[in-house]
Amino acid sequence: MLKRRWMTLISLVVAISFVLSGCGGGSEGSSEDGGKVTITLGGAFSSPAEKKIVQEQVAAFEKENPNIKVKLHSITGDYLSEMQTLIAAKDEPDVYYLDSMPAPQFMKLGVLEPLDEYIKKNNVDLSAYEESLVKAFQWEGKTYGIPKDYNTLVLFYNKKMFEEAGVKPPKTWDELRDAAKKFSKGNKKGLALHPSLDRYQPFLVQNGGQVLDDKGNPTLNHPANVEALQFITDLFIKDKVADTPSNLGVEWNGDAFAEEKVAMVFEGGWMIPFLKEKAPDLDYGMVELPVKEKENSNLAFTVAYVMSKNSEHKEEAFKLLQFLTSEKGQQYVVEGGLALPSLKSMGEKFIEKFPEREPFVKAVAYAEPYQYGEKGNELVDTFNKAAESAILKKKPAKEALEEAQNKLK
């Protein structure tokens, strides 16, 4: 999964608008050599294991399509920044990764090829994919990407600490607070929680709140959001059972959990390989996020494969895209176990192979994509600063979110 920080819409527009006013050019690596077509696949790989999965997929695709050669473009730096440069030069890969957060910007700016014609022609059934993932890459009635995989949030808990305290994994907000109190002794806390929208939104939505209204306008100061943020703030200030990673002397929630400074964190599947390396002997469990009452909520961190508008070999590019997101292609995702496959049928196979990860798959049914429109980056930054002011500066939640809402007007 891509976990890089996305640039603002303004810088993206400045760079890509150059493309739209340019002329000529073609996609990077696209060529024909003795009847064999060469296309380029671009991606950012979070680990050697992820890159290996893609290499195996490409090898299988080339075996089935001997007339197509796939050149892998691995981006190791700032993914979106490099993609911006490639797009500006009309030298971007034919097919490449696109995260859900910047997807609205790319779709609106016209640098992606609409896939609907190819989807219909090749009988691709989008209903076979998790619905929330597909919607993240649709704009104004057109589809611009097919999701390749995703992750959701679950509650990771330290089994040893829970067993010693005689506590069961919390299923509700009240149980979460009560459990956290059991572990908040000395220099330890019950919960590590960074003040950020990508961990707080499930609380907002469970409480009846929303980040955007039906027209896409920010609603950070929604009364239900205020109430939910106040609950979270109370965990830090009033109950003193939660703390930020920095206050715990670590970089992120995962470190605090691995070092057993806390008993619980809300994280995604990326925690599993991290814990395997950082704390191989740690005995932990995973359950769905606690709910306020009955309705649960979650975030789907998803990435799709998209096709460049500039590709000179669109038929071949879609054939690759289709293979990568097919059952045959996603079998490699299942075997790799790093992220969850976007196809419902492969999600079932994933659970068969990794039954302990079922909470991740269950969550996608009620998850919303991590995406907030064309100015999503600005909205996230604004909310995060408001959350920080509430937690670290003890500003009332209502005041913090009112100020945040005013900044977005």
Half-sphere exposure of 288 (CA within 13 A, CB side): 18
Q: For the chain, what are the domain ranges?
A: 37-151+300-369, 153-298+373-408
Q: Is the pLDDT of residue 113 over 60?
A: yes
Banded model confidence at residue 245, pLDDT cuts 50, 70, 90: very high
| Per-residue pLDDT at 218 exceeds 60 | yes
Residue 146 tokens, joined: 């097919």
Yes or no: say if 241 and 180 are a contact pair by the CB < 8 Å rule.
yes
Quote the percentage of the chain above a pLDDT of 90: 86
- Helix or strand (DSSP H, E) at 67: none
What is the rounded average pLDDT of the residues 203-228?
Answer: 96
| Residue 174: alpha-carbon gap to chain centroid | 27
Residues 376-399, mean pLDDT to the nearest whole number: 96
37-151+300-369 has which fold? D-Maltodextrin-Binding Protein; domain 2 (3.40.190)
CATH homologous superfamily, domain 153-298+373-408: Periplasmic binding protein-like II (3.40.190.10)
Secondary structure of residue 282 in the 3-state scheme: coil
Write out the two tokens for 284.
Answer: 């932990």
Q: Which helix (H) or strand (E) is 224 found in, with range?
A: helix 223-236
Among 118, 110, 68, which residue's Cα sits nearest to residue 87?
110
pLDDT at 260: 98
Q: What is the pLDDT of residue 22?
A: 41
CB-based contact 329:62 (threshold 8 Å): no
Give residue-wise pLDDT tens across range 399-408. 999 999 999 9
What pTM was estimated for this model as a whole?
Answer: 0.90
What SS3 class is residue 150? strand
Lowest average pLDDT, out of 79-93, 184-198, 261-275, 356-370, goes to 79-93
Token pair of 357, please?
């990860």
pLDDT in tens, 124-182: 999 999 999 999 999 999 999 999 999 999 999 999 999 999 999 999 999 999 999 99
State which H helix or E strand residue 264 sits in: strand 262-267
In terms of Cα–Cα distance, which of 382, 371, 384 is closest to 102? 371
